[in-house]
Amino acid sequence: MEFKRRQSLAQLEQALREKTREVDVLHRISESITNTLDLEAVLKHIVEVVVEVTKADACLLYLLSDSRDELILRASKNPHPKLIGRITIGLGEGITGWVARERTRVVIPSNASDDPRFKFFHNLPEDRYQAFVSVPIMAKKEVVGVINVQHKRPRRYRPDELALLSTIANQVGGAIENARLYEQMKRKALQLETLSQVSETVASNRLIEDVLQLIVTMTAQMMNSKICSIMLLDEPTGELRIVATQSLSEAYRRKPNLKIGQSISGRAVQERRPIIVPDVTKEQDYMYPDMARKEGLCSLLSVPMMIRDKAVGVINSYTSVPHSFTAEEVKLMQAIANQAAIAIEHTTLLEKSFEMQEALAVRKLLERAKGYLMRSKKLSEEEAFRLIQRQSMDLRKSMREIAEAILLAGEIEERAERQKM
């Protein structure tokens, strides 16, 4: 009887310790996630706590993408710090995708890779792990992500461990959503500010080279681009050439010109529509995959710069990790591309206006020079024009310079005649 009483007391003490530990863990998580709206900091802390609680060899946290059709690795504790943001898993794909789709956890004590739902991923050495727990992260009855806990050796997970994992997943779901909403608000604020700054830049009196350089710099910041560039169409050659980029890469800056229809940028101009490439290193139509690998480029959004129904160039945004460009991002890029096109058109009109003024000024000079020759040399209008033209060719001077010289000589001659009188 005494033994049973002691045994029961020990069990109660164990249960109390587990509950105390659970409350402590939840309190720490709650304190952490309420003190910050930085999504990356929230995710990092969640992973650290889960690893501590489960003594896991690895923990991976995936979040549902904005398009809600795939999961993206957003935080980890061994073995993938360099792969954060680069690994994507479709809904229903592998155990992780299955958990997200079915909204229920999976517990595998050993030989995880033998499970029929298991799928090997090239960049994920998950086959090294024996035990595996995958728990959906829920917010407002919707899946927002998945937490995976892995052990290298077989492990029989206790009910209290699994319950705590599920509780953590449910608790952090709301915090993750709040952090994501805050992140989205910051992103929208940056987008609005960027559009405003682009408009101010286009309306300024800066040189077109400076305007385009400012546009790619601001766009790169807004889109979180690894490389952002503007390529303009040279109509006589039908080639696109890089005229502005925020990239310091000489290899990218020296990239050869493209013909219309060639590579992704050339196609965007030819087809006059935005083109999205998930991974340029795997895209058959992309002409520089080796350079892309060397520069660490991945996804690409290429948007034509339109003036009415005519494409005058293209603006490109590359990411360093896989990225699903949203319809909103495409619209923003198109708005910026059109602003850049307006800047180019404005500059072209100014140049044409200057050329017209210059041509008119030259014409007036020629008329005055012809008039002087007709009066002083008794030449016809045609003879006077041919004399100016011949002098221009012989002396390799512009007709404006010859006309100015004739008028200057005439003034000197007239002044000399007045002095004699």
Listed range (278-282, 402-406, 416-420) with the worst mean pLDDT:
416-420
Q: What is the pLDDT of residue 379?
A: 83
Ramachandran area for residue 92 (φ above 0: left; ψ -120 to 50: alpha; else beta) = left
Q: In this structure, what is the dihedral angle of CA atoms 96, 98, 102, 106, given to the nearest 10 degrees?
A: -60
**Vertex 43: Cα angle to 72 and 18 (nearest 5):** 120
Residue 57: other Cβ atoms inside 10 A: 19
Q: What is the pLDDT of residue 124?
A: 59
Cα distance between residue 303 and residue 198, in whole Å: 16
Q: What is the pLDDT of residue 70?
A: 86
Q: What is the pLDDT of residue 307?
A: 84
Q: What is the pLDDT of residue 373?
A: 83
Q: What is the pLDDT of residue 55?
A: 85
User: What residues have CB less than 8 Å from 114, skipping those under 6 apart?
Assistant: none
Greatest mean pLDDT among 50-54, 120-124, 251-255, 270-274 lies in 270-274
Q: What is the mean pLDDT of residues 126-145?
A: 82
Taking the mean position of all CA atoms in its chain, how far away is CA 190? 13
- pLDDT classification of 231: cutoffs 50, 70, 90: very high
Q: What is the mean pLDDT of residues 227-252?
A: 88
159's tokens: 């009910």
- 17 pLDDT more than 70: no
Cα distance between residue 117 and residue 93, in whole Å: 8
Sign, CA torsion 222/330/208/286: positive
Pick the residue with more confidence: 370 or 281? 281
Q: What is the pLDDT of residue 221?
A: 85
Burial of 231 (0-12, 13-18, 19+ CB in 10 A): buried
Residue 289: other Cβ atoms inside 10 A: 15
Closest CA to 75 of 91, 90, 92, 58: 58
For 73, phi and psi rounded to 5 degrees? -65, 120
Element (H, E) at 94: helix 94-102
Cα distance between residue 115 and residue 364, in whole Å: 89
The full length of the chain comes to: 421
199's tokens: 């408009």
Residue 395: other Cβ atoms inside 10 A: 11
- pLDDT classification of 127: cutoffs 50, 70, 90: very low
Q: What is the pLDDT of residue 21?
A: 57
Q: What is the mean pLDDT of residues 225-251?
A: 88
Closest CA to 233 of 220, 247, 245, 243: 243
Pick the residue with more confidence: 315 or 118? 315
Closest CA to 276 of 227, 323, 210: 323
Mean pLDDT of the chain: 80
The pairing of strands 300-307 and 275-277 is: antiparallel
- pLDDT classification of 112: cutoffs 50, 70, 90: confident
For 279-318, give the DSSP string: -GGG-TT-S-HHHHHHHT---EEEEEEEETTEEEEEEEEE
Given a contact cutoff of 8 angstroms between Cβ atoms, the answer to whether 404 and 391 are in contact is no
In this predicted model, what pLDDT tens digit does every residue of 27-79 receive, in sequence order? 566 655 555 567 777 788 888 888 887 888 888 899 888 777 888 888 888 75
Task: Provide the percentage of residues in the chain whose pLDDT is more than 70.
Answer: 78
Q: What is the mean pLDDT of residues 146-155?
A: 89
In this predicted model, what pLDDT tens digit does every residue of 151-184 receive, in sequence order? 888 888 888 788 888 888 877 777 777 777 766 6
In this predicted model, what pLDDT tens digit does every residue of 362-382 receive, in sequence order? 788 788 888 888 888 888 888
Q: What is the pLDDT of residue 228?
A: 92
